[in-house]
Amino acid sequence: NAGVTQTPKFQVLKTGQSMTLQCAQDMNHEYMSWYRQDPGMGLRLIHYSVGAGITDQGEVPNGYNVSRSTTEDFPLRLLSAAPSQTSVYFCASSYSRSSGRINEQFFGPGTRLTVL
């Protein structure tokens, strides 16, 4: 299994540009999430999905959109990039609660985004 993959690894955008961060998992996990990591602020949840066709907002959703058309993929779209969105973005996936597992989250390697 490849686990959770993210592309690209690095990206530089100009203010106002749009782009999509890709995330895929091959573990048949129902839950997928997007986080951003900023110094001294830990991980903050942007959006999450509990299954294909179902998404919801997390703690910091403004400026981002998501969709979940398949179990495997969970792309994150930046609609009009702003310097405040400069961050490291992590995608994560986990089993559903009905599996009886401990809900360990499996993280991708991250995308480092700079908005000028």
Partner 1 sequence: GEDVEQSLFLSVREGDSSVINCTYTDSSSTYLYWYKQEPGAGLQLLTYIFSNMDMKQDQRLTVLLNKKDKHLSLRIADTQTGDSAIYFCAEKESGGYQKVTFGTGTKLQVIP
The per-residue DSSP string of 59-70 comes to SS-TTEEE--SS
Binds partner 1 (CB under 8 A): choice among 19, 43, 52, 82: 43
Question: Judging by DSSP bridges, how do beta strands 76-78 and 64-66 pair with one another?
Answer: antiparallel
| Distance from C-alpha of 108 to C-alpha of 72, rounded to nearest angstrom | 13
Which CB atom, from 18 or from 97, has the smaller least distance to partner 1? 97
| Distance from C-alpha of 90 to C-alpha of 7, rounded to nearest angstrom | 10
Within 47-106, the residues that bind partner 1 by CB under 8 A are: 48, 50, 56, 58, 90, 92, 97, 102-105
35 binds partner 1 (CB under 8 A): yes
* Sites of contact with partner 1 (CB under 8 A): 4, 31, 35, 40-43, 45, 48, 50, 56, 58, 90, 92, 97, 102-105, 107-110
